[in-house]
């Protein structure tokens, strides 16, 4: 693995879309008892379901700590690879390399800086050094070169790409003061252009209300094809999400993508509000004295947080009537893929969902 | 990775010879301050030379602890892969999987039990749990199936195979009371037959005098071709090694291999005795209160501890007049390979040599 300091765009590399073919997927085995209730036991069961579903179509590599390697190995299907790797938590999307590709099909990784979604300003845990080393190690395991971009804070969940020059982010997240406070919006956009090969950056105003990542785009809006997105939506005007989704819709309808296309927006209904229970809070074990969640807190539940596997859509299910509606919308958007709903409450209570715990490796020439 | 409980021989698998083609090689980044003098600094420099030499011909994967990953990555050439993996020390030969192969070219690993060369009886450190987990993780990284043989204590350095049904061990090591004391010699031989596909086991009486592995075969004798070995040799009758090498020579000359061939023995001279210095001992930092070595202790220096890479022989050099003689013998044994001598004192003082710190992965069909 070479550590590169050049710019991917100048080297001819760009970020492919998630709906393009993958050679694999990374996840991290959950363990942290202040993120995952009940010693992470229920979360691990839910992760196994997600991993097993993805493994039907892709080579999955699961990173596990030294202490959890044998448990992960024994819990996961044999076609899944388990690799010892130290992390601070289990959000593979945000700590894995963003993989870029060139016209010849070569793939390389980008190792962004990671500061636990806001560092000492409003980050979610400290320290985060293990997480910050994951991307480089993942590139090393893949045996691909790695761009050193640790001077710029960015998580994989805060960007989406259509693979044709358009990248989508939220202002709420990328302009949040805990990430790159010394850079202007224009400078941040330039970093996205230089590293992801973006010719057009779509800046949605907002993410999901209450999302503790400062509104990652991957919980509110996702490309389903070039020029097409799904947007998390509610018709309930009293829901604080209503104005946010409406602002994003208006923005998207005012924009064109890198190829000059208008953006077709498919509304993906939100489930009814999901609140964390007293029992779930009591089952969290504080690691630094502060409670992670309070009973009655609304969780950032959204069907947009699905993973696009080669042959399927791994979709969070909440036991809500909207589960089926969401599956139906996505089946129309992805006619060639099987919709695989997975009960996701035990992932959601950790603070994210299926897209957040996965990170695809686009197919590359070797 | 499937964990298998069947017998490799019954599944059609056998251990190939080291001189057959490799797809790669494992090493472990040294760190332990009671094994490696001066905080392992000099050892790491020597390891880098060995790794760089092997990397000319093979894909090398180096396992490093969380704390040493970045140092290893920065110190090693880019074509070398570094993977985070916890170990107790740096003896890849003894803790890596022994890879077996079938007629179709499929490869699988064997995960033997490891107890630090003798466990609580006469083992060299405690605990050894990290080491005991390396083999399985290495198979997982290779994405090959793994035989669970943890109920039998064996290190890779205690066996050599000719790839044609003959396996060579020492009685001193395999019958030592710290390994499998409840098994008879016949039962131990049966384990070798069942797992390595051996039809004939050569039981040399002795290893190198003072070798703290209880006389691993890989420091005294190695196959250079089917029916041919090099044997560590001294003509000095006052050297305690003399009788040992003589006994091994007599044994080898009395035996035939699995194919019925007599064994051709090439004598490989020993260097002059190498003694650990007061300064080297002072630079060891005890981890459990006991000193690892005493000044004046004779080290088990031997040229037989070379590594056979695809295109070269990575040979320990001691700054001794015999360095050149040893290189000349090996050049005749391996006419198609480049002899690459590497100054090895800083590896030897850790307790082993180049063969001990390497473990080949035979070429397999994927």
What pLDDT is stored for residue B49 in this prediction? Answer: 98
Who has greater pLDDT, B27 or A286?
A: B27
Look-up of token digits 């020059």: A165
C-alpha distance from A190 to closest chain B C-alpha (Å):
29
Instruction: Average the pLDDT over B181-205 and give the result.
Output: 98
What pLDDT is stored for residue B290 in this prediction? Answer: 76
What pLDDT is stored for residue A366 in this prediction? Answer: 74
What pLDDT is stored for residue A365 in this prediction? Answer: 87
Note the pLDDT tens digit of each residue in A114-124: 999 999 999 99
Answer whether B137 sits within 8 Å of A81, measured CB to CB. Answer: no
Q: Tell me which of B1, B75, B84 to substitute to probe the interface with A (most A C-beta atoms closer than 10 Å).
A: B84
Percent of chain B with pLDDT over 90: 98
Q: Tell me which of B140, B146, B150 to substitute to probe the interface with A (most A C-beta atoms closer than 10 Å).
A: B140
Answer whether B137 sits within 8 Å of A85, measured CB to CB. Answer: no
Contact A362, A23 (CB under 8 A): yes
**In chain B, alpha helices (H):** 41-54, 69-75, 92-95, 119-122, 129-132, 134-142, 171-174, 185-196, 240-253, 278-282, 322-333, 345-348
Answer whether A69 sits within 8 Å of B130, measured CB to CB. Answer: no
- Rg, Å, chain B Cα set: 19
C-alpha distance from A78 to closest chain B C-alpha (Å):
5
Residue-averaged pLDDT of chain B: 97
Report the residue of chain B nearest A133, measured CA to CA: B70
C-alpha distance from B60 to closest chain A C-alpha (Å):
11
**How does residue A20 score in pLDDT terms, banded at 50, 70 and 90?**
very high
| Cα–Cα distance for residue pair A122/A115, rounded to 1 Å | 10
Interface residue A137 vs chain B (CB under 8 A): yes
Name the residue among B59, B70, B84 with its Cβ closest to that of A84.
Answer: B84
SS3 B326: helix
pLDDT value at A263 more than 90: yes
Q: Tell me which of A75, A138, A140 to substitute to probe the interface with B (most B C-beta atoms closer than 10 Å).
A: A140
DSSP A49: H
What pLDDT is stored for residue B289 in this prediction? Answer: 73
pLDDT value at A350 more than 90: yes
Tell me which residue of B255, B297, B309, B306 sits closest to B273, measured CA to CA.
B297
Answer whether B81 sits within 8 Å of A140, measured CB to CB. Answer: yes
Which chain B residues are Cβ-neighbours of A145 within 8 angstroms?
Answer: 78
Which chain B residues are Cβ-neighbours of A85 within 8 angstroms?
Answer: 84
Answer whether B69 sits within 8 Å of A133, measured CB to CB. Answer: yes
| Cα–Cα distance for residue pair B320/A123, rounded to 1 Å | 59
Percent of chain A with pLDDT over 70: 100
Instruction: Average the pLDDT over B196-204 and give the result.
Output: 98
Backbone φ and ψ of B130, nearest 5°: -65, -45
Tell me which residue of B107, B101, B98, B200 sits closest to B157, measured CA to CA.
B98
Is B356 considered catalytic here? yes
Q: Which residues are within 8 A (CB) of A125 and not within 5 positions of it... i.e. 6 or more apart?
A: A32, A34, A35, A88, A89, A116, A287, A288
Interface residue B263 vs chain A (CB under 8 A): no
What pLDDT is stored for residue A137 in this prediction? Answer: 98
What pLDDT is stored for residue A258 in this prediction? Answer: 98
pLDDT value at A23 more than 90: yes
pLDDT value at B305 more than 80: yes
What pLDDT is stored for residue A80 in this prediction? Answer: 98
The sheet carrying B160-161 orders its strands as B160-161, B166-170, B200-204
| Cα–Cα distance for residue pair A42/A44, rounded to 1 Å | 5
Report the residue of chain B nearest A66, measured CA to CA: B86
Which chain B residues are Cβ-neighbours of A130 within 8 angstroms?
Answer: 66
pTM exceeds 0.90, yes or no: yes
C-alpha distance from B61 to closest chain A C-alpha (Å):
9
Interface residue B85 vs chain A (CB under 8 A): yes
What pLDDT is stored for residue A331 in this prediction? Answer: 98
| Cα–Cα distance for residue pair B278/A69, rounded to 1 Å | 41
What pLDDT is stored for residue B123 in this prediction? Answer: 96
Q: Which helix (H) or strand (E) holds B266?
A: strand B264-269
Tell me which residue of A336, A326, A276 sits closest to A306, measured CA to CA.
A326
Task: Report in angstroms the alpha-carbon separations of B213 from A270, B61, B356.
Answer: 64, 24, 10
pLDDT value at A189 more than 80: yes
Name the residue among A1, A81, A130 with its Cβ closest to that of B78.
Answer: A1
Interface residue A84 vs chain B (CB under 8 A): yes
What pLDDT is stored for residue B264 in this prediction? Answer: 98
**How does residue B358 score in pLDDT terms, banded at 50, 70 and 90?**
very high
Name the residue among B1, B82, B145 with its Cβ closest to that of A81.
Answer: B1
**How does residue A22 score in pLDDT terms, banded at 50, 70 and 90?**
very high
Task: Report in angstroms the alpha-carbon separations of B102 from A62, B25, B282, B364.
Answer: 28, 19, 49, 9
What pLDDT is stored for residue A288 in this prediction? Answer: 80
Catalytic residue among A25, A139, A221, A356: A356
- Rg, Å, chain A Cα set: 19
Note the pLDDT tens digit of each residue in B268-296: 999 999 999 999 999 999 888 777 899 99
Which chain B residues are Cβ-neighbours of A140 within 8 angstroms?
Answer: 73, 81-83
Answer whether B73 sits within 8 Å of A136, measured CB to CB. Answer: yes
What pLDDT is stored for residue B41 in this prediction? Answer: 98
What pLDDT is stored for residue B350 in this prediction? Answer: 97
Answer whether B1 sits within 8 Å of A73, measured CB to CB. Answer: yes
Answer whether B86 sits within 8 Å of A84, measured CB to CB. Answer: yes
Note the pLDDT tens digit of each residue in A293-302: 999 999 999 9
**How does residue A92 score in pLDDT terms, banded at 50, 70 and 90?**
very high
| Cα–Cα distance for residue pair B51/B29, rounded to 1 Å | 10
C-alpha distance from B69 to closest chain A C-alpha (Å):
9
C-alpha distance from B108 to closest chain A C-alpha (Å):
14
Q: Tell me which of B4, B24, B58, B66 to substitute to probe the interface with A (most A C-beta atoms closer than 10 Å).
A: B66
Answer whether B83 sits within 8 Å of A1, measured CB to CB. Answer: no
| Cα–Cα distance for residue pair A307/A144, rounded to 1 Å | 23
C-alpha distance from A16 to closest chain B C-alpha (Å):
25
Tell me which residue of A261, A306, A278, A32 sits closest to A162, measured CA to CA.
A261
| Cα–Cα distance for residue pair A316/A339, rounded to 1 Å | 10
Please give the ipTM for the structure prediction: 0.95
What pLDDT is stored for residue B249 in this prediction? Answer: 98
Name the residue among A3, A59, A83 with its Cβ closest to that of B141.
Answer: A83
Contact B169, B204 (CB under 8 A): yes
What pLDDT is stored for residue B366 in this prediction? Answer: 74
Q: Which residues are within 8 A (CB) of B268 and not within 5 positions of it... i.e. 6 or more apart?
A: B230, B231, B232, B233, B302, B303, B304, B326, B329, B330
Note the pLDDT tens digit of each residue in A137-170: 999 999 999 999 999 999 999 999 999 999 999 9
pLDDT value at B55 more than 80: yes
**How does residue B149 score in pLDDT terms, banded at 50, 70 and 90?**
very high
| Cα–Cα distance for residue pair A82/A63, rounded to 1 Å | 6
Which chain A residues are Cβ-neighbours of B136 within 8 angstroms?
Answer: 73
């Amino acid at each position: 693995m070479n550590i590169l300091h050049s710019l991917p765009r100048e080297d001819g590399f760009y970020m492919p879309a998630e709906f393009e073919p993958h050679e694999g997927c990374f996840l991290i085995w959950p363990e942290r008892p202040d993120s995952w209730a009940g010693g992470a036991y229920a979360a691990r069961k839910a992760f196994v379901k997600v991993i097993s579903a993805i493994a039907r179509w892709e080579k999955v590599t699961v990173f596990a700590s030294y202490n959890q390697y044998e448990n992960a190995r024994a819990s996961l299907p044999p076609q899944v690879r388990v690799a010892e790797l130290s992390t601070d938590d289990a959000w593979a999307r945000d700590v894995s390399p963003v993989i870029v590709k060139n016209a010849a099909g070569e793939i390389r990784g980008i190792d962004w800086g990671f500061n636990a979604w806001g560092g000492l300003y409003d980050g979610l845990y400290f320290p985060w050094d293990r997480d910050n080393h994951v991307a480089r190690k993942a590139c090393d395991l893949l045996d691909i070169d790695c761009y050193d971009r640790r001077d710029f804070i960015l998580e994989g969940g805060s960007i989406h790409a259509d693979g044709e020059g358009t990248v989508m982010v939220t202002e709420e997240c990328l302009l949040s003061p805990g990430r790159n406070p010394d850079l202007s919006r224009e400078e941040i956009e330039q970093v996205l252009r230089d590293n992801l090969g973006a010719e057009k950056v779509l800046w949605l105003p907002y993410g999901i209300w209450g999302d503790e990542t400062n509104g990652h785009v991957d919980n509110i809006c996702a490309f389903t094809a070039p020029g097409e997105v799904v947007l998390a939506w509610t018709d309930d005007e009293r829901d604080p999400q209503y104005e946010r989704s409406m602002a994003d819709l208006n923005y998207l309808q005012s924009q064109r993508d890198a190829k000059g296309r208008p953006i077709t927006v498919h509304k993906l209904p939100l489930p009814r509000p999901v609140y964390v229970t007293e029992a779930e809070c009591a089952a969290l074990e504080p690691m630094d004295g502060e409670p992670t969640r309070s009973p009655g807190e609304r969780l950032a539940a959204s069907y947009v947080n699905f993973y696009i596997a080669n042959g399927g859509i791994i979709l969070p299910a909440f036991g809500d009537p909207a589960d089926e509606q969401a599956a139906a919308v996505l089946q129309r958007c992805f006619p060639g893929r099987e919709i695989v709903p997975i009960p996701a409450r035990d992932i959601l209570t950790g603070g994210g969902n299926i897209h957040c715990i996965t990170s695809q490796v686009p197919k590359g020439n070797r």
